[in-house]
Each structure stands twice: as C-alpha cells, then as structure tokens.
Amino acid sequence: MPNDPMLRNAGAYPLWTEERIRFGDTDRLGHVNNAVYGTYLETARVELMQRLLRGPETYFVLARMSIDYLAEMQELGPIRIGTAITGIGRSSFTTGQGVFQGEMCSATGDGVVVLVDAATRRSTPLPADVRAALEELSLKK
C-alpha cells in the first residue's frame, strides 16, 4: 500500500513528526541515502507508539515495512513525516506514512505493527482504548 496516491497528500495525515536532514544522511550523489528513509519513518512510528503504550506488560514490534521512493531530497534542513492508520486488525495495525520536504512528498511507506505481551512474547489483542485511539488517527480521505 505505500504507493497509494492518498499517502502523497499531506492533508491526509492526522499526525506529524518533525525531523531534520543531516549532512550524514546524504550519500556521494548529494541526496538522502535510501536507507535513511527507514529511520525517518521509524522516528514517526515510535512517536505514535509512545502515544499508545500504557505500561510495561505490552510493547509494539514492527512486523513489516515497505517504502516507495518518489523524489530526491538534497537540501539539508527540516522535513516532516506524516503518519496515519490505514488498517486495524485483532492484534496489529498498519501505518501509512509520507516524508515531505516542503510540499514535495519524497517517499511513502507502510508498516505493520503488532502488539506483543511482554510475558509470553506473543501477539495479544489490541485493547478497546488503543483501538479507539487508532481509529481517530485513520487516513483522511
């Protein structure tokens, strides 16, 4: 789903995370290295997960991630990562994300995040309050 055209629309995201392109994020060609996009998406995903966690008895793990690269980012400075929920399962949810420099969407990604019971280390159902919070962060159409 990362190539969903809705993920290229900044107005579709209810949650935003600020980040900066650093000199070390760039490669020999002078643009942001493709591996760094995973870090940008992770920064925003972790911010979302921190909003949802309630205690040490459960935690979230990333089960899958994909990224579509749309345009080069070359200038150092501020970027924004939009995050929205694109699906909710029994014990997992799917994030849709976009990396924006100014108005340009340079990449989109999606990830499946699973809630895990710390004692059993197995997936566990999403509690009703977490499910409700996720629904409020759904992708705006």
Q: Residue 3's pLDDT band (boundaries 50, 70, 90)?
A: low
CATH of the domain at 110: 3.10.129.10
- pTM to 2 decimal places: 0.93
Do the domain assignments include residue 89?
A: yes
Q: Is the dihedral of CA 102, 105, 106, 112 positive or negative?
A: positive
Give pLDDT tens digits for 70-97: 999 988 999 999 999 999 999 999 999 9
Do the domain assignments include residue 30?
A: yes
Give pLDDT tens digits for 21-35: 999 999 988 899 999
pLDDT of the residue at 14: 97
Do the domain assignments include residue 141?
A: no
- For residue 108, the enclosing domain spans 5-136
- Contacts by 18-24, CB closer than 8 A, 24 or more apart: 18/78, 18/79, 18/80, 19/43, 19/44, 19/78, 19/79, 19/80, 19/81, 20/76, 20/77, 20/78, 20/79, 21/73, 21/75, 21/76, 21/77, 21/78, 21/79, 21/101, 22/76, 23/76
| Count of structural domains within the chain | 1
Do the domain assignments include residue 131?
A: yes
Do the domain assignments include residue 128?
A: yes
**What Å distances lie between residue 68 and 23, 48, 55, 59, 123, CA to CA?**
22, 21, 34, 27, 28
Closest by alpha carbon to 81, among 107, 49, 111, 60?
107
